[in-house]
Chain A
Amino acid sequence: MTLEVDPTAIRHDYVARVSRRYGVIAAVFGLLCLSFLLDITTGPGGYSLSTVSEVLFDPMSHGARLKVIVWDYRLPVAVTAVLVGALLAVAGAQMQTILNNPLAEPFTLGVSAAASFGASLAIVLGFSVIPAVGPLLVTVNAFVFALCTCGFILLATRLKGVGSETMILFGIAIFFTFSALLALMQYMASEDQIARIVFWMMGSLSRASWEKIGLGTILLCFAIPFSLYRTWPMTALRMGEATAQSMGVDVGRLRVEMLICISLLAATAVSFVGTVGFVGLVGPHIARMLVGEDQRYFVPLSALVGALVLSLTSLISKTITPGIIYPIGIITSLIGVPIFISIILSSRRERLQ
């Protein structure tokens, strides 16, 4: 019955599989670089790649006008797309693992609904949760509300025991609560304010700034090493909660740690660009199909795929109608979802790579 296989052969297979994964990660990184370059060369100005890259290395080489276009407008947008895509995808990947649910992403726990409500509070009432933030009012409100939501979930699950069902149920409750509160704010708002709320919720990269990019990068530089540090317990969690526990993993504590990490990532991403659904879902999904669920490869690749998806979205949002930049939230859904469905249908049974 037992087919004997040489033990060194299975070792060799594993090592080969690992190097294939590094290959996949490198390939996606290459695509991301390409998409990023295209993103900064595309725009109403119609400058060539060589011109733009000269401006990148020497800002004043083609005059002050081009410096402003590349450095103050296109580059922050392109970098924000990459950064936010990575933040959302890492948050989605971790959330799917700790909740054992492939449909989980930052929005499942009501984080974006809370952020939208925070933003609307700033837009309609001019109310700021942190005084004297000036023009950052909307962003700060969105961030604080998103973070408080995660804090609340954390607290609630801590009190009731950290089961994955409990967390999802809390998320749904929070989602509906904030949706209702948001509707209330819209009811009270003027036409102009409603337009601003709706535009905020559609998601836009034009709110990019170097300060936000700096903050986001710092967070990502903290989150990815932390995730890698927790990679073995997180991979064990994929074998099921009982199995992970029997291997010595403190599942409750791991969930809380990861939830704190996810909260910061999701709150930052949402407050920067508004509601961008789907990236947190599709990034991890594609990464999983490419490298499986060993978190050492899964988390970094999720970040790269998420970044690639949002970078491509940014590119597409500029090229559909020249001169018009569509909100990215709309693009991710309209173009991304059919692609996503075709991916699912083309490989109905997820195979191990």
Chain B
Amino acid sequence: MTLTIANLSAGYGRTTVLHDVTVTDIPSGAFVGLIGPNAAGKSTLFKTIAGLITPNKGTLTIEGEDVTHLGRKDRAKRVAYMPQAYGCNALLSVFESVLLALKQTTGWRVNDDNLDRVSDTLHALGLSHLANRGVADLSGGQAQMVAVAQTIVRAPDVILLDEPTSALDLHHQLSILTSIRNEMDRKKPVVMAALHDLNLAAKFCDRLVLLRDGAILADGKPEHILALPQIEETYRVLTDLERTQRNVLYVDARLA
């Protein structure tokens, strides 16, 4: 399952946000971190891949198949996009909210397989104890975990996570990203996540893509990307890249 983004340009109305974005051959089971400052076009790129924005130019291919103009529903079967978290006041249980995500692309009737998939997903993410809780009663971190469950339950080829760790405490940041890694080991989807925390990105991602002003500045292994002068330029900071005792990359940043 490889994802290729080729010469993609997209935007809202007359404003073009993405300029000629190309990210080639993201292999199945790869965790790609999308980094870059605010308003770099990260969400726009995700929305375009998810089919919520029609690109002006360029192509998207999944496993060699051109999906650039695939309809919403067919697209949703292959690409699952988790937007940045918003609260909701629906009177639905966590179980129901994950079930409804699955049911958007799987027929009308709820069958045993659907119920199995929902309970397995909740179990895999360690959310079983919340299954009967109302979605409106969840804490921010729990709501974000449920949003991840809603994304993963669909077992898509491509998972796009827009700032999955924003507003989470350290435990939940690690727990969300670890759950996603575990899920990747099981089902081998392509995962792209927009991350603001470069250290988290370094720890969890196989590959980093640096986006700025809607264009790609760099694309490669974390240790290469984070050492580039463009990182300092883009974020307007000075950085030192170190390795911790456990051989994890650590970006030490300070104001220029």
Q: Measuring CB to CB, which residues of chain A are less than 8 angstroms from any residue of chain B? A: 1-11, 13-15, 17, 229, 231-233, 235-236, 238-240, 242-243, 245-250, 288, 292-294, 350-352
Contact = CB atoms under 8 A, between A and B. Distances in A.
A14 B90 contact: no
B254 to A, nearest CB: 33
A114 B72 CA distance: 37
Contacts of B147: 243
B19 interface: no
Contact of A248 (B72, B116, B171): B72
A239 B103 CA distance: 14
Contact of B104 (A1, A7, A236, A242): A236
A231 B108 CA distance: 9
B150 A247 contact: yes
B220 interface: no
Nearest to A97: B90
Given A14-B115, A248-B72, A352 B105 contact: no
Interface string B173-212: 0000000000000000000000000000000000000000
B39 to A, nearest CB: 18
Given A13-B95, A246-B50, A246-B82, 9 more contacts: A232-B100, A238-B90, A239-B135, A248-B72, A248-B76, A248-B77, A249-B104, A250-B72, A292-B91
A4 B128 contact: yes
Interface string B50-84: 11100000000000000000001101110011111
Interface string B120-152: 101100101101111101000000000100100
B93 A247 contact: no
A24 to B, nearest CB: 14
Nearest to A228: B108
Contact of A243 (B73, B86, B123): B86
B91 A288 contact: yes
Identify the 9 closest CB pairs spanning chains A and B, nearest first: A248-B76, A5-B128, A238-B90, A10-B131, A2-B126, A352-B134, A7-B119, A3-B129, A292-B91
Interface residues of B, number: 49
Given A13-B95, A248-B72, A293-B90, A242 B83 contact: yes
B96 interface: yes
Nearest to A3: B129
A77 B131 CA distance: 46
A36 to B, nearest CB: 29
A1 B123 contact: no
Given A7-B120, A10-B119, A248 B93 contact: no
Given A2-B126, A239-B135, A10 B103 contact: no
A250 B103 CA distance: 15
Contacts of B87: 240
A5 B82 contact: no
17 contacts: A1-B171, A3-B129, A7-B128, A8-B119, A9-B128, A10-B128, A11-B116, A11-B119, A14-B99, A232-B104, A240-B87, A242-B83, A242-B86, A248-B51, A248-B104, A248-B105, A292-B93
Contacts of A13: 95, 131-132
B134 A10 contact: no
Contacts of B92: 235, 238-239, 292-294, 352
Contact of A239 (B51, B84, B90): B90
A17 B99 CA distance: 14
Contacts of A231: 108
A292 B97 contact: no
Given A5-B128, A5-B131, A248-B75, A232 B91 contact: no
Contacts of B126: 2, 4
Contacts of B238: none
Contacts of B77: 248
A54 to B, nearest CB: 43
Contacts of A246: 50, 52, 80-83
A236 to B, nearest CB: 5
A239 B88 contact: yes
Contacts of A350: 91
B23 interface: no
